Amino acid sequence: MASPGADIDGDALGVGVDLTLDPCPCGGTLRPHRFECEEYDATSLLGVPVILAGRFMGNRCDKGGETTLPGKLHDVLTERVGLLQMPLAP
């Protein structure tokens, strides 16, 4: 792998996500949003360079338009990225 980050295909995650309507700090409401063939920069969420692409469900604020990933998807991504960064056995 040339880069320390990862490009993850959202279609392949297969995560059943429970979506709820949560309040956004800006005063809006985070509503379910389907990301399709977009590039979502999850670097700030995961702490390593990760671009998420494909189709996956997330949330988008109905007031400010900011987007987030549901906690369960965040957990799966954290696990996948952790596995990618494990050194191979000598």
Region near Zn ion per CB under 5 A, out of 4-12, 19-27, 31-39, 78-86: 19-27
Distance in Å, CB of 88 to Zn ion, minimum: 42
List the one residue from 26, 34, 47, 72 that touches Zn ion (CB under 5 A): 26
Q: How far is the CB of 62 from Zn ion (least distance, A)?
A: 8
38-67 footprint of Zn ion as x/- string (CB under 5 A): -----------------------x-xx---
24 lines the binding site for Zn ion (CB under 5 A) = yes
Question: Taking the complex as a whole, how short is the minimal distance between the CB of residue 68 and Zn ion, in angstroms?
Answer: 9
Q: Distance between CA atoms of 72 and 3, rounded to whole angstroms?
A: 26
The token pair at 20 is 């709820």
